[in-house]
C-alpha cells in the first residue's frame, strides 16, 4: 500500500475530520477542549492506522544516519541558573539524548507529511485550540520532525517554549519511554519552583504517567505543564512524529536554534558567521 489516500492513513470512520460540520467532529471538539482544560493532554487513540504508522516509523528509521543527535546535560530553563542558589531548580541539570530527523530529511511523498499537510487536520486543530488563525510552519528544519529514542535515550524534564505540541506515536518501545507530566504546574504569574523541585525529586503527588500507543494523536499544552519522556528500555526504538504550527503564516524557527541543530548533525559543518 502506498498510502496515497488519507483514508489509508487516518481512521476516518472514527475521526471523520473531513466532515467538519458533522456531529462527530462537534463531539470530538467538545471532548478535546474539556480534556485539555483539565489535563493539558488530549489523546485521539488510534487516529493513524497501524499499517500507516508502521510504514512511517520504518521511513523515519531509514533517515537516522542523517538525524541530529542531541546529547546534552542542561538546565530546564534558558539560562544556566548561576544567578540562583546551588539547590535551586533553575540550577538543576538534566540529561537528554535522542535523535531528531528534521523536516528536510522527510520525503515530500511521505505519508507522515501527507498527514501533516492534510487541511482538515489543520482546521480541526485550529478549532480545538480556539485560535483565529493557524498555519503550518514553513521551517525547512523544524516544520515536521521526528524524535527517535534508542535504549537509554530520554527527553528529560522541561516546559515547552510554544503553547501546544501535536504528536503521533509511530513506534512504541518495549519498556520505558513513558510520557510523564504534571498538569498546569506553573502559570504565567507563578513559576512554582517548589512544585518543580518536587517533580525533579520524584515526590510530586500530581505526576501522571501515560503509555502512549502507536497511532495515537496527542495534543499537549506543555508551556505550563512540566513533562518528560522517561528512558527507553529494550531494543525497540520509540519513534514520534511532531507537527509544528503557528498563528502567523510563513514562520521559520530562529537561527540560533537551527545553528545548534546543525552542530548536532553528523557531516554538517557549522554555518560560518554572517558578514556584518
Ligand X SMILES: O=C(O)CCC(=O)C(=O)O
Residues 218-237 touching Fe ion, rule: CB under 5 A, are 222
The interface region with ligand X, picked from 15-23, 59-67, 185-193, 222-230 by CB under 6 A, is 222-230
Distance CA 101, CA 85 (A): 37
180: its cell numbers: 510523564
Does residue 225 touch ligand X according to CB under 6 A?
no
Of the candidate residues 160, 163, 180, 191, the single one contacting Fe ion (CB under 5 A): 160
Give the ranges where 21-154 is alpha helix by DSSP (H). Answer: 23-39, 50-62, 111-116, 119-129
- Candidate ranges 6-14, 136-144, 221-229, 263-271; the one touching ligand X (CB under 6 A): 221-229
The answer to whether 233 and 176 are in contact (CB under 8 A) is yes
Q: What are phi and psi of 262, to 5 degrees?
A: -65, -40
In whole angstroms, give the CA distance from residue 69 to residue 266. 8
In this complex, which beta carbon is closest to ligand X, that of residue 113 or of residue 227? 227
| Residue 172 lies near ligand X (rule: CB under 6 A) | no
Identify the DSSP state of 132: S
Binding residue (CB under 6 A) for ligand X from 8, 160, 175, 180? 160
Q: How far is the CB of 155 from Fe ion (least distance, A)?
A: 7
- CA-nearest of 17, 247, 257 to 137 is 247
Give me the residues that bind ligand X (CB under 6 A), please: 147, 155, 160, 165, 167, 179, 222, 227, 229, 240, 242
Amino acid at each position: 500500500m502506498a498510502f496515497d489516500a488519507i483514508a489509508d492513513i487516518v481512521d476516518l470512520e472514527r475521526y471523520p475530520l473531513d466532515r467538519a460540520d458533522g456531529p462527530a467532529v462537534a463531539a470530538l471538539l467538545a471532548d478535546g477542549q474539556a480534556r485539555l482544560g483539565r489535563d493539558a493532554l488530549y489523546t485521539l487513540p488510534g487516529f493513524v492506522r497501524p499499517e500507516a504508522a508502521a510504514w512511517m516509523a520504518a521511513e523515519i528509521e531509514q533517515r537516522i544516519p542523517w538525524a541530529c543527535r542531541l546529547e546534552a546535560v542542561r538546565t530546564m530553563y534558558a539560562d544556566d541558573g548561576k544567578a540562583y542558589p546551588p539547590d535551586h531548580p533553575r540550577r538543576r541539570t538534566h540529561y537528554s539524548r535522542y535523535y531528531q530527523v528534521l523536516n528536510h530529511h522527510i520525503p515530500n511523498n511521505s505519508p507522515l507529511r501527507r498527514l501533516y499537510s492534510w487541511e482538515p487536520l489543520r482546521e480541526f486543530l485550529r478549532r480545538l485550540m480556539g485560535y483565529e488563525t493557524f498555519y503550518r510552519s514553513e521551517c525547512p528544519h523544524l516544520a515536521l520532525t521526528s524524535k527517535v529514542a534508542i535504549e537509554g535515550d530520554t527527553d528529560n524534564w522541561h516546559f515547552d517554549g510554544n503553547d501546544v505540541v501535536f504528536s503521533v506515536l509511530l513506534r512504541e518501545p518495549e519498556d520505558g519511554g513513558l510520557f510523564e507530566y504534571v498538569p498546569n504546574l506553573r502559570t504565567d504569574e507563578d513559576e512554582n519552583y517548589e512544585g518543580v523541585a518536587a517533580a525533579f525529586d520524584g515526590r510530586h503527588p500530581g505526576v501522571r504517567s501515560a503509555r502512549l500507543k502507536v497511532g495515537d494523536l496527542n495534543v499537549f499544552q506543555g508551556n505550563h505543564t512540566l513533562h518528560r519522556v522517561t528512558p527507553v528500555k529494550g531494543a525497540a526504538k520509540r519513534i514520534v512524529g511532531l507537527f509544528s504550527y503557528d498563528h502567523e503564516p510563513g514562520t521559520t524557527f530562529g537561527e540560533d536554534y537551527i545553528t545548534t541543530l546543525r552542530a548536532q548533525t553528523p557531516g554538517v559543518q557549522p554555518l560560518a558567521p554572517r558578514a556584518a
